[in-house]
A and B are shown apart, each in its own frame.
Chain A
Amino acid sequence: MIQSKINRSLILLASLLSLVAALPAQAVPSFARQTGEDCAACHTSFPELTPFGRNFKLNGYTLGERQMLPLAAMMQFSMTHIDKQTSDGNKYMMRQNDPQFDGASLFLAGKISDNAGGFIQWTYENLDHLRNDGTTIAHHSHVDNTDLRLVGTYDLFGRDTVVGLVLNNNPTVQDVWNSTPAWGFPFNGSKLPDVGGPGGSPLPSAGTQIDGGLAQTVEGLGGYFWWDRHLYGELSFYGTADGFWRPLSKGAWYKSTGPTLAGRDNPYWRLAWNQDWGAHSLMVGTYGMRVDMYPDPTVTSGPTNRFTDTALDAQYQYISDPHIITAQATYIHEKQEYAAGAFDPSCAAAGSGTPCNSSDTLNTFRAKLSYLYDRKYGATLAYFQTLGRADLGLYNGASAKPDTRGYILEADYNPWTNVRFALQYTGYTKINGGNNGYDPASPSRKASDNNTLFLNTWFAF
């Protein structure tokens, strides 16, 4: 049965591959068409940026000729296998081993003028969320990452300095190093509902706000400078993407309304030092944000919860021919301060979602090392963990802690620069504060039972 499904999926993939391969050599996303460059000029391996790619983005995507119709697209297919199915089947794994159409994106991406450019992504999610019936999966199409820029280049202290204004809807989507959350590893993960794994997971549920918690629900407007290709600084301010900013919001499905920020001056900051020498490139930096959020997203008045995220990150790249090595790491500390009435010191309802403590913390650390040969064959080893203060109101595991820890092994094959086949294995050593019996509802279940094998194909054209 599984074999026949695999055969069918292989036939499907082969058909799609031949379709993409039949496209002319220029059939790569619109930035490549605009600049005339190969994808390899800006990416080591999509979406990781080279020094050239970082400069292209920070200069507002303005290099090259403006296209009449700057459109690009991508689509993804996958198969997921989880280590152990539970007795109630649907809880942890739906459509196990079935080939899936994950979704597709359309990009409006390119130069607007010599001083302006950007991209708007529209995505159809074929596996968006589990319906109330608990057995069927709903679809959703929505605006995805958006990044619009207005830039100028000036002389500051005798050095070229790019100064820009940036509008986006996901904190860190504007960043050019792949150590920050929006463009950090893993670039992909299983989208199947109730399958563990960062990138598409309900299972390890705790995450910091800056780590995807606000993605496509906020609008952010700010300014940055890029001095002498060494020093990057940015200050932006975020608010909920509602009212005039509604087009930047992906919306919410019926079970959730998403976070609601108080005001439009929730600050985001970024400072990074970059050094390129020969085939090497190194960056060390810090970033963070502070958001004030209404405890009930539907009631936009009264006291607010405050989340303060402070992060350190670093990236190293060795880009040569045929060898490419890249490494990224980030550490995010989040302080969560709850408004009076937004937490319950009596801890009357464990696992209710209402915190027992007046303040909590989360600490996320991620690191990965990748090797790419001839820009075709890649291997990545990654480590991730999120640890935090015990809070019985938020985390209903035995330890009442959010702690999740694991690793990812990934092998990639890129037959062309715009096509990728990835085999990804995610292993867990701890989920929601424990290993054996981490889930009170399934005492015999171990964290490693959620280990996931994920086969993914990714086409961009």
Chain B
Amino acid sequence: MITRILFLLGLIVAMPVLAAEEGAKLDRQLCSICHGPGGTTSSELFPQLAGQPAPYLINQLKGFRDKSRADQNAKRFMWGVSSRLTDEDIQHLASFYEQQPPLHGTVTNTAESQLGARIFTQGMADKGVPPCMSCHGERGEGHGEIPRLAGQHETYLKRQLKVFYGNDRPAATAMHEVVKGLSDADIQAIAQYLQAQ
């Protein structure tokens, strides 16, 4: 009994000494569990956040918080986490991730990547698909409210492009029109190209 009391007292005394820093960063304590340290992860379940433009991240986090973005994994993982974020938290996180260096994948299928590059840079006029780079930037780097696509996971990109067939991301009005002209093979090719940029 004495052993136990001494041990617990010691632990309680040690706690304030350990408290060197008040309020550790939200991204370290919460977001990186899924999105990886600094917003880079090799898990295709969760998107890369590093290098995303801050205005895009702000829009998405607010979309999760007000539940207007409602794709399946947004509901599963982001609705709850975002519900406690203040506007200030969101601004802080967006600025943080915008400044992190993004990762780049490697080409695993050259033919697909070449087709993806053509669609990305030239579009498919006959199917009403504009060049992706016209909005997402020459190298898919994104800007403002348009997301960075370069270096994003192939599986994640494919999943999101298919989300645009429905109405679970209503804010992305342009993408709802764009995907109408894309086949599964086109989506695969675009995702293969972008993940290596």
Contact = CB atoms under 8 A, between A and B. Distances in A.
Interface of A: 32, 35-38, 40-41, 51-52, 55, 63-65, 152-156, 160-161, 163, 165, 221-223, 229, 235, 237, 263-265, 276-280, 319-321
B45 interface: yes
B41 interface: yes
Contacts of B24: 153, 155, 160
B33 A51 contact: yes
A222 B3 CA distance: 11
Nearest to B4: A237
B76 A279 contact: no
A155 B21 contact: yes
B11 A223 contact: yes
B43 A279 contact: yes
The 9 closest A-B pairs by CB, nearest first: A278-B42, A36-B80, A37-B80, A154-B18, A155-B21, A279-B43, A38-B76, A278-B43, A223-B11
A277 B28 CA distance: 15
A153 B81 CA distance: 18
B1 A263 contact: yes
Contacts of A160: 24, 28-29
Interface of B: 1-4, 7-8, 11-12, 14-15, 18-21, 24, 28-30, 33-34, 36, 41-45, 73, 75-77, 79-81, 83-84, 155, 159
Nearest to A220: B4
Given A155-B20, A163-B18, A221-B4, 12 more contacts: A38-B79, A41-B81, A51-B33, A55-B33, A152-B15, A152-B19, A154-B18, A155-B24, A160-B29, A163-B11, A276-B33, A320-B44
A80 B179 CA distance: 51
A36 B45 contact: no
6 contacts: A153-B24, A154-B19, A165-B11, A165-B12, A278-B43, A279-B44
Contact of A52 (B33, B36, B79, B83): B33
A155 B25 CA distance: 11
Given A165-B11, A221-B8, A264-B1, A319 B45 contact: yes
Given A165-B8, A223-B8, A320-B43, A156 B1 contact: no
A13 to B, nearest CB: 26
Given A154-B18, A223-B11, A65 B84 contact: yes
A76 B116 CA distance: 51
Contact of A237 (B3, B21, B73, B76): B3
